[in-house]
Each structure stands twice: as structure tokens, then as C-alpha cells.
Amino acid sequence: MRPTKTTYRSRLTKRPRRLGQEQLSEEEIRAGEIEASQTVQMAVVGGILLYLSPFAIDFARKFL
């Protein structure tokens, strides 16, 4: 059976709750947002450190 084709607008509308799917509390949603924010921050910091690491190695080779 082929899945039905959905439009962009229908994906944006609120979907009815499925059976067996529990609703998250405000506290759980906030905890998830904090965790996601920390994950993004760590990824950005990691990218910056990876970008700067060759310069740090060159600096250490020159002065040590």
C-alpha cells in the first residue's frame, strides 16, 4: 500500500494524537530544549577548536 501524498501545508497542521503516544509535560519539553541547546553549543565549540588546532600546533612548534 502506497503512503498518501501530503502537502507542505498539511504537514504543518496539528496532527491528532496517536494511540499509545504519551504527551510530554512542560518540564520534559524544557529539559529536552536545554539538552538540545547544550548539544548545539558543544558542536559549535568543537568546530571552532578543530579550526584553530592547526594554528595552535604551529605556534607550539615555533616556540617549544
Of the two residues 6 and 27, the one the predictor is more confident about is 27
pLDDT category of residue 60 using cuts at 50, 70 and 90: very high
Evaluate if residue 10 carries a pLDDT over 60: no
| Buried residues in 6-16 as b, exposed as e (16+ CB within 10 A) | eeeeeeeeeee
- pTM given for the model: 0.59
Phi, psi of 16 (to 5 degrees): -70, 150
Residue-wise pLDDT for 26-59, tens only, equals 999 999 999 999 999 999 999 999 999 999 999 9
